Structure 1
Amino acid sequence: MTQTTSAPEHEDGTAPPAARFDAVVEAAVQQGLLGEGGPVAGFIDTAGVRASVAALRDAFAATPGVLHTFAAKACSLIPVLRLLADCGMGCEVASPGELRLALEAGFPASRIVLDSPAKTREEIRLALALGVAVNADSLGELRRIDALRNPSTSSVLGLRVNPQVGGGSIGPMSTATDTSKFGVALRDPGAREAIVAAFRERPWLTRLHAHVGSQGCPLELIAAGVARTYELAEEINTTLGVRQITSLDIGGGLPVNFADETVRPSYADYVAALTAAAPGLFSGRYALVTEFGRSLLAKNGFIGARVEYTKDAGGRRIALTHAGAQTATRTVLMPDAWPLRIGAFGPDGVPKGGPVLAQ
């Protein structure tokens, strides 16, 4: 749950997020949405989500035709997905379930990207039949697509590469290390030549995809991975003597500041880092696709949970709630990397005062 410290109103007269969230908790308790009959509930600031989408679009405003997709794994609730679809977003999915949810939420198939690293034949058949874009995760998957692809499909087909630029501060969350399991390892012996050959053999293969990581990855590292992907696209098109690669899926992964309500880094910061690392990326030669998730929602919601019991252990005060590992899995496993800000409320939903206790 968000912290409850007060702050002055914004210049536009609206209350800051913490104050607005406090008011929502009180209203939810009074309306019976949170309490004995509903011990845990999630809340989304729809205006905040729309503002985040607008900030993303503004950052890329100089480059027309960018397809911004929402990573469904960041929040796979249909009402939230429907809100993002209504905002004009596309959707990035990584499983048959996420694909079904995306379609149910109203995303057109032409604005959905499938990125699972272990796609079954049936998943591929369905995506190709629907016209969903598919990023193959390996050369082996490309061979599977060879056998399943109908020339009449409208799906944009791409290949994910691992630019191998290194990891961030959270090893398990880094997806561009030398041994990352995602994509074709670009710097492995013979890999670059094999990738070029794969495109030469498949004129229908028109997209490159890369995703360096998210939390714990500095913008410079993310930009370096995108730059290597851009350079590879240029090399492939030059080698083939034709502009076969027409789009780049640059992934998502903007880190989130969990310490307070400040948005840092911003999407504008991200674009500035990309511009510095790969100036030609925004020249218009390539259509761009993004896959942001958590960064669009992190400041725009919270979990409310009823405290069912309290107890002490070794001088530590413990509150037992209905929001645990099922809602904060990464925090449970890596609390330093995924911290939570917690607010305490009374039975009437009003923020509690008093001294802070160690937890």
Structure 2
Amino acid sequence: MDYLKTKNKKLFINNFDLKKIVKKYKTPFYIYSADQIKKNIKLVQSSLKKSNPLICYAVKANSNIQVIRELKKNNVGADVVSAGELKLALKAGISPKKIVFSGVGKTEDEIKFAIQKGILSINAESESEILSINKISKKLNKIVKIGIRINPNVKAKTNKKIATGTKVNKFGVSVSDFFQILNSKKNLKNIKIHLLSVHIGSQIKDIGAYKKVLKLISKLLLKLRKTNHEVDYVDLGGGMGIPYYKDDKNFDFKKFGKEVAKFYNKQKIKIIFEIGRFLTGNAGIIISKVIYVKKTREKYFIIIDTGMNDMARSAIYEAFHEILPIEKNSKKFNKKIEFVGPICESSDTFGIYKNYSILKEGDLVCITNCGAYGRTLSSNYNMRPLIEEIIVDKKKLKSVRKRQKIENII
């Protein structure tokens, strides 16, 4: 995060001393930097300026309404995967004409709701779903614009749990099935196929994988035109990765933008992107307190008050999130340390470190890069309340989602 800085051995966010913030809010809690979000949006929009796409934020990455509103202020739409996310996007003020509905398992009620709200596109992922949309549209006496998601069978370098673009994944239809569906569309009188969609996964740094997708889509568009099947939009998905380790490289958005511009100049078609992590991932942190320091022969366990229920990425994906002390100590631990949470699971761990600054019980730490798939993956496991969320904008600090009360969970 660009707005997270160390000054005189103390950690600051947007010039707020994090140690002082803890006096006002109970740990653990999330903090999001609105300034970082705005900076990320500006980078994406400037890099893709020549192709002028509609950026639809993947709401599953961060469902805080103030975060969504911040994105909306900057002309960003929404990519949703449930009726709940659709309602959230609308509540945040995003125009229905800037919302696409993705996902493999939309229910009849969700499809009906999306049709009634007049969103830009319902992106179907199977022939069965297309038939269902057509049937519901007929009942509502409407002709509904839909997209069809292609499974490009392109393997990207990423965790297998967040890869979505190969034939073993549940997402989309094959190219051959896509054309079979098009050939039978005369029987689908209440839908209009106006969009071609593709998505290959998440946390991708390899621009080469995207180039393969652009090449495939170019071939499909050429074939479509030859068979008089025109589409208005191409939804190129998202999945651009962010650095989690110190030596990680940034996704080269400017280079990527040049590749998209080449595609756009040849195809002259409206483009949509479903970007989530890249816009908010590095904009969020968790502030946590050390409960106990447990010494063993092998190492020290630093037991913090944040659990895998609060931030599940490490447990689910074995993902690394750098943990920084709020106040550095010049002395170091003489053994390796492991940050762990209070949950009764061995997977409730947040990383092992060597030569780490000495911590004692009651000290504070910051878990970085938690702005995407942090709070949205949270749960009440072990009857733990969902934690508070705070947003900082320049010199303003505001609570935007209160901590749950145990009594309300019960």
Q: Match for residue 213 of structure 1? A: 201
Letter in 2 for 1:212: I
Taking the aligned partners of 1:83 and 1:206, their CA distance within structure 2 comes to 29
**5+ unaligned residues in a row in structure 1: which ranges?**
9-17
Letter in 2 for 1:309: Y
Residues 282 and 237 (structure 1), Cα distance of their counterparts in 2 relative to 1, 3 Å cut:
same
Residue among 165, 168, 182 paired with 2:157: 168
The answer to whether the aligner puts 1:324 opposite 2:307 as a matched pair is yes
The answer to whether the aligner puts 1:303 opposite 2:272 as a matched pair is no
CA contact (8 A) 2:165 2:200 kept: yes
Residues 23 and 289 (structure 1), Cα distance of their counterparts in 2 relative to 1, 3 Å cut:
same
Residue among 303, 319, 325 paired with 1:344: 325
Letter in 1 for 2:222: E
Q: Match for residue 96 of structure 2? A: 109
Task: Write out the 4+ residue segments of structure 1 that deviate beyond 4 Å after TM superposition.
Answer: 1-8, 150-155, 198-203
Taking the aligned partners of 2:170 and 2:257, their CA distance within structure 1 comes to 27
SS at match of 2:19: helix
Letter in 1 for 2:279: L
Question: Which has the larger share of strand?
Answer: 2
Aligned-pair identity in percent equals: 21
Q: Match for residue 285 of structure 1? A: 268
SS at match of 2:324: coil
SS at match of 1:183: coil
Q: How do residues 92-171 of structure 1 correspond to structure 2 at under 5 angstroms?
A: 92-132=79-119, 133-149=121-137, 156-171=145-160
Taking the aligned partners of 1:154 and 1:261, their CA distance within structure 2 comes to 51
The answer to whether the aligner puts 1:358 opposite 2:351 as a matched pair is no
CA contact (8 A) 2:137 2:144 kept: no
Q: Match for residue 29 of structure 1? A: 22
CA contact (8 A) 2:3 2:14 kept: no
SS at match of 1:88: coil
Q: State the Cα distance separating 1:89 from its structure 2 match.
A: 0.6
SS at match of 1:220: helix
Q: State the Cα distance separating 1:102 from its structure 2 match.
A: 1.3
Residue among 53, 58, 66 paired with 2:46: 58
Letter in 2 for 1:118: G
CA contact (8 A) 1:139 1:198 kept: no
Residues 25 and 235 (structure 1), Cα distance of their counterparts in 2 relative to 1, 3 Å cut:
same
Superimposed CA distance per residue, residues 41-78 of structure 1 (whole angstroms, 9 cap, x where no aligned partner):
111111111111111111111123x2101100111111
Letter in 2 for 1:101: L
Letter in 1 for 2:66: P
Residue among 250, 265, 270 paired with 1:264: 250
Superimposed CA distance per residue, residues 230-261 of structure 1 (whole angstroms, 9 cap, x where no aligned partner):
32123112212x5x201000000001111139
**5+ unaligned residues in a row in structure 2: which ranges?**
339-410
Letter in 2 for 1:149: S
Taking the aligned partners of 1:261 and 1:304, their CA distance within structure 2 comes to 23
Q: State the Cα distance separating 1:88 from its structure 2 match.
A: 1.4
Note the aligned Cα RMSD (angstroms): 2.8
Residue among 136, 158, 173 paired with 1:184: 173
Taking the aligned partners of 1:22 and 1:170, their CA distance within structure 2 comes to 35
Q: State the Cα distance separating 1:130 from its structure 2 match.
A: 0.3
Residues 287 and 119 (structure 1), Cα distance of their counterparts in 2 relative to 1, 3 Å cut:
same
Taking the aligned partners of 1:3 and 1:63, their CA distance within structure 2 comes to 29
Taking the aligned partners of 2:22 and 2:213, their CA distance within structure 1 comes to 47
Superimposed CA distance per residue, residues 242-286 of structure 1 (whole angstroms, 9 cap, x where no aligned partner):
5x20100000000111113976113213223445xxx33344621
Letter in 2 for 1:252: G
Superimposed CA distance per residue, residues 125-179 of structure 1 (whole angstroms, 9 cap, x where no aligned partner):
1101101121001111111111112587586411001001224242222111121
Residue among 183, 187, 191 paired with 1:197: 183
Q: Match for residue 334 of structure 1? A: 317
SS at match of 1:318: strand
Taking the aligned partners of 2:227 and 2:328, their CA distance within structure 1 comes to 64
Letter in 1 for 2:289: R
Taking the aligned partners of 2:160 and 2:332, their CA distance within structure 1 comes to 37
Q: State the Cα distance separating 1:95 from its structure 2 match.
A: 1.1
Residue among 13, 25, 37 paired with 1:20: 13
Taking the aligned partners of 2:208 and 2:28, their CA distance within structure 1 comes to 39
Taking the aligned partners of 2:306 and 2:257, their CA distance within structure 1 comes to 36
Taking the aligned partners of 2:322 and 2:217, their CA distance within structure 1 comes to 37
Q: State the Cα distance separating 1:305 from its structure 2 match.
A: 1.2
Q: Match for residue 12 of structure 1? A: none
The answer to whether the aligner puts 1:255 opposite 2:241 as a matched pair is yes
Taking the aligned partners of 1:325 and 1:2, their CA distance within structure 2 comes to 26
Taking the aligned partners of 2:18 and 2:78, their CA distance within structure 1 comes to 30
SS at match of 1:204: strand
